[in-house]
Chains A and B, each alone.
Chain A
Amino acid sequence: MINNSIYIQSQQEVFDVVIVGSGAGGGMAAHTLTKAGAKVCLLEAGQPFDPADPKYITQLKWPYESPRRGTGTTRAFGDFDAAYGGWEIDGEPYTRKNGTKFDWFRARMVGGRTNHWGRISLRFGPDDFKRKSIDGLGDDWPIGYDDMKPFYDKIDKMLGVFGTNEGLRNDPDGFFLPPPKPRLHELMIKKANKALGIPTYPSRLSILTKSINNERGACFYCAQCSRGCSAYADFSSSSVLVKPAMATGNLTLLPFAMAREVMTDAATGLATGVSYVHTGTLQEYSVRGKIVMLAASAGETARLLLNSKSSRFPDGIANSSGVVGKYINDSTGASRSAIIPKLFDRKVYNEDGVGGLHVYTPWWGDNKKLDFPRGYHIEYGGGMGMPSYGFGWGIEGLNGKENYTRDGLRKAAGGYGATLKEDYRRYYGSYVGFSGRGEPVPREDNYCEIDPNVVDKYGIPVVRFNYKWSDYEIKQAKHMQDTFEQIIQEMGGDALGKKPGADTNYGLADPGRIIHEVGTARMGNNSSTSVVNSNCQAHDVKNLFLADSSPFVSQGDKNATWTILALSLRTSEYIIDQRKKANL
């Protein structure tokens, strides 16, 4: 139950732990701590959300159930996507500095961005924690794969992930459910990749191809994980972590609670709780806790730390190093799509599969022989998906091509009428898409800070970003584009559009667009160059912990979520252990 009596101005109860943010990190912390018996208060800036509640369900809706056929005019990823919020939120601005770019995606709902995420669940490998030792750039983590492995293993089993053990050194084995078989275009990609020496493996997604307990159902293959699953057959923090945490009776969940500051005791310097604004009433409240955990996302956590100023912490709490906000880094991303004429007029059958790719390519290159230091993985798309807004758009760029007609005769591009209708049918299901997701080198001069002039509608000073890609990332994007074209050619396909060149940084997405930002309060053993220690505990404030991606020292050529979850579990177990030993 959501305990509404808690919204009172001066809360007497002192919780064992107050957590800010209910996404992957906050959900995992709330789950672990409440199961261990701790009384936890979980603050969420957004609204309640449960993918099995008809109020919120968009799963299995048809495009015509949306007047805009699902396009993203009001909701960033479209009417059916399970992320409330987006790149721009009314009344919650952010700014940029020095003409640089950073787009910030925020989800305002219980479960945060895990409700719509791609479910790509890649644990980091040994190299991902020790990049400086390998290439001399950035920094090593103070922990290594061996420290994290037990926690990856635990979450694999607890949350469920499909995949295969391939014995790859830097893409370690795990505990996997059976993967779905590749779709037709994925088999074609695999064949082409084999000829090119590019590996292709079953993807690793946190989707239950088999039921793992009686609280969650098994996948029924509608390809719509991004809408949230009413059977709880995919991982989202709202359904898989927050809900069971509620069932313990130890969790007080406060939606509509926008955190303003971490409160501290002037004498001891310890955190005493969190003050927040109720987003509906704009009333000010506070909640007290013996321990405070921030899991508000890399950007929001940095903002909270920097905004928590006092005479003891003039530059923000836990920021004696001055490192808070620095080293923010997002995954690189570049993409290309193609038409595969072999797939014209294909036989139609239900090809939905799971809500994501069935095969992927982990990084296979040797950076010592390349002109950029870090790798990337490739995600593949395509197939006979459900049409949505944009379907058929731009056919005038296709149907004038040689050999694109059934009778082999070239016709004038564009057109209308019965023959045009035939073209749409003929091309359906012949698109494939390629997306690279890579590791950037974190830089001290890429940072977020507090804008001295701007507040949001709650009166909270906002974040200002300063972020630029370096040659490392741009050269990596070039390699992605070259690789995509090789694969497309090998498949006998026609790449669409002009190949992105130097003028567009080879199609390298603007910072923030991949929504994998990490590293704003990095961990380390040296308190003058890092914000938290290897247990995600603030060097300066021993009862303040971070449980999102802000402590990441680097982000690997993987996606961040599985490591956020494993790290939050590790931090939570550390807290339980320290409480038992009366150290906290």
Chain B
Amino acid sequence: MKRRDYLKNIGLSSLGLAVLNPDARAMEQLENTNGVPKAAALKIPGGRTKDEAERDAKLMAEVFLNKHELDTITILSDIIIPADKKSGSASQSGVTGFIEFIVKDKPELKTPVRGGLRWLDSESNRRFSKLFTQITPAQRINIVDDIAYPEKAKKQFSQGVNFFTLMRNLTATGFYTSRIGIDDLGYKGNTPNEWKGVPADVLKQYGLSYDD
């Protein structure tokens, strides 16, 4: 088949570049002159460039949020998106790990998230003399209800409201871009198919047709 030949050629040309190219060796030498000996060769995942893979590996190795902070995020994200009869909770979908990574990827989130968590613990201490992770679920809701509704929250909680809004947004994005969240929405795409138009019953529901 012609197409198979085509694909074979592609493999050859890209392989050829890596193996045969004297310049590739020269490029490596150039990179090694930075003084730092190269660590074990980085595996570049499909779809990533070398620079991107290096940046990802660096971010993965970085530790920013500590265990207590991550525990607090887990509790908070499950208050925002709990399990229900249709799907699992935020933490079950991996939201904690997502937030752990994204604050390193977008450093401008570091202080709002860390500071917000401190605000939450200090508020919890003020009300219940314990950290947010140590109080009862009902006590947690007592605090959350004061910061979850931007339009009716008291002014004194405005910083907490901002933090909770950020956590709601991060949790929703993390959840609905996970396998569990995508299945919850029922998204049916990202797979080879044939588009034949809007289903007839849907057209009827909205009083539309393809004949107009």
Q: Is B169 an interface residue (CB 8 A)?
A: yes
Residues facing A in B23-56 (CB within 8 A) are 23-24, 26-27, 30, 44, 46-49, 51-52, 55-56
Complex interface: chain A residues within 8 A of B148 (CB): 414-416
Main secondary structure of the interface of B (DSSP, over half): helix
The contact of A392 among B52, B151, B169, by CB within 8 Å, is: B169
Complex interface: chain A residues within 8 A of B59 (CB): 67
Chain A nearest CB, measured from B11 CB (Å): 7
A-B contact count (CB 8 A): 251
Interface contact B187-A349, CB-CB below 8 Å: no
Interface contact B184-A425, CB-CB below 8 Å: yes
Binary A-proximity of B144-188 (CB < 8 A = 1, otherwise 0):
100011111000000000001100110011111111011011111
Residues facing B in A360-383 (CB within 8 A) are none
Interface contact B105-A68, CB-CB below 8 Å: yes
Chain B nearest CB, measured from A280 CB (Å): 4
**Contact A53/B149 with A4-B23, A191-B212, A386-B189 known, Cβ cut-off 8 Å:** no
**Contact A414/B168 with A353-B195, A400-B151 known, Cβ cut-off 8 Å:** yes
Q: Is B94 an interface residue (CB 8 A)?
A: yes
**Contact A280/B26 with A187-B208, A221-B193, A393-B169 known, Cβ cut-off 8 Å:** yes
State in angstroms the CA–CA spacing of A12 and B178 once bound together: 56
Q: Is A351 an interface residue (CB 8 A)?
A: yes
Q: Is B79 an interface residue (CB 8 A)?
A: yes
Complex interface: chain A residues within 8 A of B203 (CB): 187
Main secondary structure of the interface of A (DSSP, over half): loop
State in angstroms the CA–CA spacing of A67 and B47 once bound together: 13
The contact of B150 among A180, A214, A413, A420, by CB within 8 Å, is: A413
Q: Is A60 an interface residue (CB 8 A)?
A: yes
Complex interface: chain B residues within 8 A of A52 (CB): 6-7, 10
Chain B nearest CB, measured from A287 CB (Å): 14
Interface size on A, residues (CB 8 A): 95
Q: Is B62 an interface residue (CB 8 A)?
A: no
Complex interface: chain B residues within 8 A of A395 (CB): 168-169, 172
State in angstroms the CA–CA spacing of A428 and B176 once bound together: 11
Interface contact A222-B190, CB-CB below 8 Å: yes
Chain A positions near chain B (C-beta within 8 angstroms): 1-2, 4, 7, 47-48, 50, 52-58, 60-64, 67-71, 73-75, 79-80, 84, 90, 180-184, 187-188, 190-191, 194, 214-215, 217, 220-224, 243, 246-247, 255-256, 278, 280-283, 342, 346-354, 384-396, 400, 412-418, 420-421, 424-425, 428
A280-B30, A420-B80 known; 4 new pairs, CB 8 Å cut-off, are A63-B178, A74-B56, A350-B195, A384-B188
What 7 A-B pairs come out closest when comparing CB atoms?
A392-B172, A181-B197, A280-B27, A352-B189, A220-B192, A63-B177, A348-B186
- List, sorted by A's number, 22 A–B pairs whose CB atoms are closer than 8 Å: A1-B12, A1-B13, A56-B46, A57-B47, A62-B179, A63-B182, A67-B59, A71-B106, A184-B206, A223-B189, A346-B202, A350-B193, A384-B187, A384-B189, A386-B189, A389-B173, A392-B173, A396-B168, A414-B164, A415-B149, A416-B79, A420-B168
